[in-house]
Chain A
Amino acid sequence: MKKRIEELLDICLQKIKEGIPVEEILSQYPYYADELKELLATAKKIKDVPLPEPSNIGMASCLVRLGEALQLQKQKPRKARISRLLYFPFPAWAKALVFAVIIIFISWGTVTLSANSLPGDLLYPMKFMTEKVKFFLTANPGGKVELRLIYSEERMQELVRHLDKRRDLNTELLKAMLDEATLALEHISRLPDPAGPVYFSRLQYLNAYQKDVLENLKPKVTSPQQKEELENAIRLCGNRTQWMSRMRIKGVWPGKWGPHCDRR
């Protein structure tokens, strides 16, 4: 009921504004006529009050202050004004988008910079973490093998750069390189035909390549212990390459793929 009279009052005020006589308006709402009449009379009394006008001195003083403020505003460093223009006039979603783009750009930049890092560098953990995340997010078994092959080769490249730069054979990298290749073989054994033999072949070539690269590193290694570890790795790569070559010639593959599957 109360809401109704609020609405009616507003309608009456609107009609008065349009020039309709009060009596005519009230006759349309006889139930509320008495209350509306009082309220409309109150409204009229308020409307009839002469408006207080500002003095000319007040207005002039305001314009002078405005002029002074304008001069000060114009003298403010332009850089600050530009930065405000860049950030504040945009809606919230645009600010969020800009923020997201900046974050993506920074992340992308960091990952790119970390790509050439070596163990001991500030960004190396970032590179290592990126590889792990990438591997975790890869659902395709073929993709996982691909990543293992890439990581094995990457460890080899790091080993070479590390030796050139720091005159030291990083045995951790050597081990990581061989481990990645072993893990790649494990994943290959679970792949179906024809992807399995293709990746098997690629791994064989990678092993052969790694053996050659390690052979070339031998003159640069001075420590007897490191030399021994390098020799072992070369031997392992060689053995793996020979074994894989024999498997391919015989047409017998480890794992589950293809009609030539060797389960013995």
Chain B
Amino acid sequence: METDNKGKTHLKQILEKARRLDEIALDTLAREYYPIIFRYFHYRTKTREDAEDLTGEVFVRVVGSIETQKGDFVAWLFRIAKNLLIDYYRKRGKLKEISLDQMAIEPSPASYEYERDTLHPEDIKKMLNLLTDEQKEVITLKFLEDYSNKDIAKIMNKSIGAVKALQFRALSALRDILKKEGQ
């Protein structure tokens, strides 16, 4: 994300080249943002393969329309990802890939390797699926991807105040879930 001026200038230069369909610039953008977009899908889809397939599709769409892209690039990238996710859910005919019943289960096999205070990635995925879409998004962007409130506000098209409120509600909900699960 554009965290400092140097980073912003660098991203701007790469974007300028990418908009002219420069292969190296597009490759750089893909390598930079692939993990972030992959994780966005990972927490929202059933399988790793689905997440990887959707992530690849995001960058195919980026190539298709980057010439006319304007505004914040990362926010735009997430908008593409959100639209693809909506299509993905629609095709499968349901909004939540992981049901509430699936959540209230014993810990994932791998989680025995972790301390009691430490969550396993699969546990967090299941917990996130109990939150609303917006709460899930603010948690993943803020605590997993380490974005600032300003960047999250841009991505979610909300005010910073609304992001803080969402953050509070999402953390409160997760705290209650953890209490319920005895973590």
Contact = CB atoms under 8 A, between A and B. Distances in A.
B8 interface: no
B171 A39 contact: yes
Interface of A: 2-3, 5-7, 9-10, 38-39, 41-43, 45-55, 57-59, 61-63, 65-67, 69-70, 73-74, 81, 84-85, 88-89
A10 B119 contact: no
16 contacts: A6-B168, A39-B168, A43-B143, A43-B171, A45-B117, A45-B178, A47-B144, A53-B35, A54-B38, A58-B34, A58-B56, A62-B30, A66-B27, A66-B30, A84-B68, A85-B68
Interface stretch (B58-66, B72-80, B94-102): B58-66
Interface of B: 21, 23, 26-27, 30-31, 34-35, 38-39, 42, 48, 51-52, 55-57, 59-60, 62-64, 67-68, 70, 117-121, 123-124, 139, 143-144, 149, 164-165, 167-168, 171-172, 174-175, 178, 183
A70 B34 contact: no
Name A's interface SS.
helix
Given A61-B52, A69-B64, A89-B68, A9 B164 contact: yes
Nearest to A67: B23
B32 to A, nearest CB: 11
Contacts of B123: 49
Determine the main DSSP class of B at the interface with A: helix
Q: Which of A10, A54, A59, A67 has the most CB of B within 10 A?
A: A54
Given A54-B52, A65-B59, A69-B60, A49 B30 contact: no
Residue of A42, A57, A59, A88 contacting most chain B CB atoms (<10 Å): A42
Contacts of B57: 65
A231 B51 CA distance: 93
8 shortest interchain CB distances as A-B pairs: A58-B52, A69-B63, A62-B56, A54-B38, A6-B168, A88-B68, A42-B175, A46-B143
A56 to B, nearest CB: 11
Contact of B144 (A42, A49, A53, A89): A49
A50 to B, nearest CB: 6
Contact of A55 (B48, B60, B164, B165): B48
B168 A70 contact: no
B67 A81 contact: yes
A10 B121 contact: no
Given A5-B168, A69-B63, A46 B55 contact: no
A10 B35 contact: no
A52 B64 contact: no
B160 to A, nearest CB: 9
A38 B175 contact: yes
Nearest to B69: A89
